[in-house]
Chain A
Amino acid sequence: MRFAITMLSVVAIASIIGTVVKQSEPYNNYLVQFGQFWFPIFEVFDVYNIYQAFWFLIILLFLVVSTSLCVSRNSPKIIKDIRRFQGSLSHSSFKKFKNYYEFSSDKSLNTLTEILNKAGFRIKASKDKDILVAKKGDLQKLGYIFTHLAIIVISIGGILDGNLYFKLQESFGFKKIESRNLKFSEVPAESQLDIDNFSYRATLLLNEQEKNNKALLRIKDGYLVQHLPFEIKLDKFHIEHYSTGQPKAFLSDIKIRKDGQEFTETISVNKPFTMDGITIYQSDFQDGGSRLDLTLIDLFNRYQPINLSSEVYKQNSFNTDQQEYVFEFDDFREFNIFQIEKDGKLKTQNIGPSVVYKFRNASGQAVEYQTYQNPIPENEKFFFMSGVREDLQSELKFLRIPADSDLSLQGYQTFLKNIRSEELLLKNINILADQASSLNSVEAKENFKKNTQDIFNVYLKSGYSGLAAMIEDTVALENQESVADSYIKIIYFLAESMNQQLITNNIIENDFLQDALNAYSDSFFYGDSPFLILNEYEKIYASGMQLTKDPGKIWVYIGSLFLVIGIFCMIYVQEIRLWLIKKSPRKYAVAMASNREHIDFDNYCKNLTEKFKTKE
């Protein structure tokens, strides 16, 4: 018993560890998390798949065996106890009972017997006619057997559905977990499980219009291939949305083909489909290689826009004068649900598609980008947004390019061309210098022109942060703020006059220039990637399905039913033993005992005695 409790505690602690350490992640994540030293130590104890660990299963098995022993040892005793009536105790011995009453009644022993019968007692007729032995509530004791048997049945069901069988096959060398990245057809036979495998939870990822009759079984840091008795084809995957844009349903239209017969089904979350003991669930979805049609715009206007047709998961490359760039699309999301402020209230809204891609710079380092197709509303204005991050742990930093009056990027592109035109710059600096009345001499004017051009060029070369660095280096501390202020004004003034045409044609409005200048300045943290404009797309989904074969389930359910019945019996059935003695023609004594005596029991005894007493 003590050992069993220790083992149970070990199971509890191991379970807790399993909830704290995220289970079944790629092993690389654990290596990062725990470091070189702890990673292999934890691996030995199977901490990463603790619930499937051999030692964990052995302890569970031990608990089942020990519970079985417990039941088999105690059951005969309990059954004997149920069948047996505790013999006639001597009057003096049950006088000591807490619930002992003496009373006088007109009723005969027969009438009292009837009352007891009605109250659910079983009565043993005694040879000695003045003593009556009765009892009720034997179910309480059966409750013990029920609950313990239930735990055994549930465990057996669980073991049937666990992968103990595979573990045995693995430890004898018949089967081996595959960890290389192979096509299903190239996986060696020792890593394949045939149709007869009696329980599994496998996954199957299909692109739309794709089909397969093999599924993937992830184990530890590798996998096995599970053969299915039928072939599944994914016709189409849909997402249904609420009017607010949040997803309402994920559905897969599938065709199941077996022995020349074909069944068409739609599965969705909470609505799986079962065939041949295998239940098919909607569990996951991702992009299945959507087709994208894009235009690439350099944020510094160094090369002409490039048109590109591509697909998700496909590698792309393009050349500019200096070098070749490589990037690949990781994901295309057709719907993005954002909380957007509208009239002072937050509203959930779908803001349309986005692409996620990794862009490799010259040194080969991959930087992740996420670019939204449509301009995103923000305080009455609209911005084209693209986020960037160098590692997956950090947050996306967003580049926000203001949209023009037609909600297009055209305004910003013209703005870029204008501010980077040296001719326009010189022309507008001249105008600025002519307007400044304080510049009396020619020399002062030339000086002013040169300084102004320098300032603007620093901005063009490295944005506001370049200007800040320049100010820090050259200006005394107490003047820095006012100088920075005047520099910003100069840049804004020049940008405004260089883009006069945009303003007069109403192509841009409001704070566009301010936002555009900020966006240009932010382009320097954005990295080498051009800005992607998504012109058109064709969304193709891949649906992740889970295939479960669990013959143990029914046993788990049956066991659970018994468990509930058993607990109910143990807690709510009151076991009572009762002795009734006729002391003289009208005088009786009654004693009642139970293995559980509490307030309710005492009340029950009192009430029963009252019933014996009362006249009809």
Chain B
Amino acid sequence: MILNILFILSIIFSGIYSFINFREFMDAYEVAILVFSVPVFIWLGYFWSSFRKLFLAIFFLTIIAVMIFQNDLQMQESNFFLKYFFSSQSMIMWMTFFFPLSLASYLYSSIKSNQFSANLGSNFSWIALTTGFTGLMVRWYESYLISPDVGHIPISNLYEVFVLFCLITGAMYLYYEQKSQTKKLGSFVLIIINAAVAFILWYTFAKNADAIQPLVPALQSYWMKIHVPTNFIGYGAFSISAMIAVAYLLRNQSLIKNILPSEYVMEDLMYKSIAIGFIFFTIATILGAIWAAEAWGGYWSWDPKETWALIVWLNYAAWLHLRLVKGLRGDILAWWSVIGLLITTFAFIGVNLFLSGLHSYGEL
């Protein structure tokens, strides 16, 4: 009860505080997004009780970070707590520490059928989510400390969206884990999250990609705040379904037969995550089109990213069509979902790596 009140109060506080203090940085659309996000977050907490704890943890950690910073970016060099815990960079590094730990625990629990270790796995994932989200929140704040005109929501380059990808995929997985009451799929889903973690580490240390860069003019729009997260809910959901599909395809292997949940549960989760992913991906693509109409002068320019988004969309549309209309089940759909992830991955990273076009912000 206290938790619920605290949760709602903290959201309303965040909303009002942001409105009063940051009004000058927002245009009318951004104010609308802020106002709209208050009930959305409250609803999320109502819909998924664990979200309340997550939100409160992020809320208080962020406040602590902001208080230690005292509006001085240099503090992260000199202050011990900022340097090792509360600066966005170290928070994100903690995330990259806890996700592998979570995978290891899940794997151990699968091999030894150890329930304690499985619980540990989800707890580590929860900690990774808390630190990762706090990292992004603090990064948002830090960007404004660099200079008010540099400040922006940290979902604007490949480094930031990879962090976002880990977090969204992790959160969605934990939701399904609670809903389906099985921790047995953690060993599979955490693999793809850790692949992204590996990329973040490589990108940070080999390319110094973690520096906060000002936004190019094309990205300076309130649309980024809704287009990018929506898209990544799609990507995250598709990844989860593909990893569950891998588990599903391995269900008859004698070695891991016993560590998997029932075929029925896997099949159902595979469908559910593709369904939610498809809706969000559809919305994201439409939002992208509306943004493109405003920024590039046309809602559809057959830019490589757009075209590949269409191919991803057609792919999952066909998947859902086969399942819902034709009633298909089983291995074919599982294989399809794995291949779907390859297509999605190409649309997400491959296009940036190999093809040039209007979406060239995420170049390696």
Query: Whose C-beta in chain B lies nearest to the C-beta of A245?
Result: B214
Q: Are B302 and A283 in contact (CB under 8 A)?
A: no
- Is residue A16 contacting chain B, with contact meaning CB distance below 8 A? yes
- Is residue B124 contacting chain A, with contact meaning CB distance below 8 A? no
Report the Cα distance A19→B294, complex, angstroms. Answer: 22
**Chain A contact residues (Cβ within 8 angstroms of B): what range?**
35 or more
Shortest CB distance B138–A (Å): 21
Q: Are A270 and B214 in contact (CB under 8 A)?
A: no
- A18-B302, A571-B320 given; A281·B217 CB < 8 A: no
- Is residue A39 contacting chain B, with contact meaning CB distance below 8 A? no
Query: Whose C-beta in chain B lies nearest to the C-beta of A249?
Result: B217
- Is residue A556 contacting chain B, with contact meaning CB distance below 8 A? yes
Q: Are B307 and A567 in contact (CB under 8 A)?
A: no
Q: Mark A287-309, 1 if CB is under 8 A from B, else 0.
A: 00000000000000000000000
Partner of B286, one of A281, A283, A546, A564: A564
Partner of B308, one of A19, A281, A563: A19
Please name all residues of chain A whose beta carbon is closer than 8 Å to the beta carbon of B296 when the two chains form the complex. Answer: 281, 283, 546
Query: Whose C-beta in chain A lies nearest to the C-beta of B310?
Result: A15
Partner of A248, one of B217, B295, B298, B314: B217
Report the Cα distance A564→B357, complex, angstroms. Answer: 27
Q: Mark A572-597, 1 if CB is under 8 A from B, else 0.
A: 10000000000000000000000010
- Is residue B279 contacting chain A, with contact meaning CB distance below 8 A? yes
Please name all residues of chain B whose beta carbon is closer than 8 Å to the beta carbon of A12 when the two chains form the complex. Answer: 311, 314
Q: Are A269 and B307 in contact (CB under 8 A)?
A: no
- Is residue B221 contacting chain A, with contact meaning CB distance below 8 A? yes
Report the Cα distance A243→B324, complex, angstroms. Answer: 55
Report the Cα distance A23→B302, complex, angstroms. Answer: 9
Q: Are B218 and A269 in contact (CB under 8 A)?
A: yes
Report the Cα distance A332→B193, complex, angstroms. Answer: 47
Please name all residues of chain A whose beta carbon is closer than 8 Å to the beta carbon of B325 when the two chains form the complex. Answer: 144
- Is residue A42 contacting chain B, with contact meaning CB distance below 8 A? no
Report the Cα distance A38→B294, complex, angstroms. Answer: 38
Query: Whose C-beta in chain A lies nearest to the C-beta of B223?
Result: A270
Q: Are B216 and A247 in contact (CB under 8 A)?
A: yes
- Is residue A272 contacting chain B, with contact meaning CB distance below 8 A? yes
Q: Are B297 and A281 in contact (CB under 8 A)?
A: yes
- Is residue A8 contacting chain B, with contact meaning CB distance below 8 A? yes
Q: Are B351 and A19 in contact (CB under 8 A)?
A: yes
- Is residue A527 contacting chain B, with contact meaning CB distance below 8 A? no
- Is residue A525 contacting chain B, with contact meaning CB distance below 8 A? no
- Is residue A250 contacting chain B, with contact meaning CB distance below 8 A? yes
Partner of A571, one of B217, B265, B278, B307: B278
Query: Whose C-beta in chain B lies nearest to the C-beta of A281?
Result: B297
- Is residue A550 contacting chain B, with contact meaning CB distance below 8 A? yes
- A556-B299, A560-B286 given; A248·B279 CB < 8 A: no
Q: Are A250 and B314 in contact (CB under 8 A)?
A: no
Q: Are A247 and B217 in contact (CB under 8 A)?
A: yes
Please name all residues of chain A whose beta carbon is closer than 8 Å to the beta carbon of B298 when the two chains form the complex. Answer: 161, 201, 548, 550
- Is residue A268 contacting chain B, with contact meaning CB distance below 8 A? yes
Q: Are A243 and B147 in contact (CB under 8 A)?
A: yes
- Is residue B110 contacting chain A, with contact meaning CB distance below 8 A? no
- A19-B355, A244-B214, A250-B217 given; A598·B271 CB < 8 A: yes
Report the Cα distance A201→B298, complex, angstroms. Answer: 8
Q: Mark A1-23, 1 if CB is under 8 A from B, else 0.
A: 00000001000100110111011
Partner of B265, one of A18, A244, A599: A599
- Is residue A568 contacting chain B, with contact meaning CB distance below 8 A? yes
Report the Cα distance A256→B217, complex, angstroms. Answer: 24
Report the Cα distance A560→B218, complex, angstroms. Answer: 24
Report the Cα distance A79→B340, complex, angstroms. Answer: 34
Report the Cα distance A8→B317, complex, angstroms. Answer: 12
- A16-B307, A19-B304, A269-B220 given; A557·B290 CB < 8 A: yes
Known: A12-B314, A571-B279. 20 other contacts (CB 8 A): A15-B302, A19-B307, A19-B351, A242-B147, A242-B214, A243-B147, A244-B214, A246-B214, A248-B149, A268-B217, A270-B217, A281-B295, A548-B298, A550-B299, A556-B289, A560-B286, A567-B278, A567-B282, A568-B279, A596-B324
Q: Which 10 pairs, one residue from A and one from B, show the smallest C-beta to C-beta distance? A: A19-B304, A269-B217, A281-B297, A546-B297, A51-B302, A560-B286, A270-B221, A571-B275, A242-B214, A548-B297
List 19 contacting pairs A-B, 8 Å CB cutoff, sorted by A: A8-B314, A12-B314, A15-B302, A15-B311, A18-B307, A144-B325, A201-B297, A242-B149, A246-B214, A246-B216, A250-B217, A270-B217, A270-B220, A270-B295, A550-B293, A556-B289, A556-B300, A567-B282, A570-B324
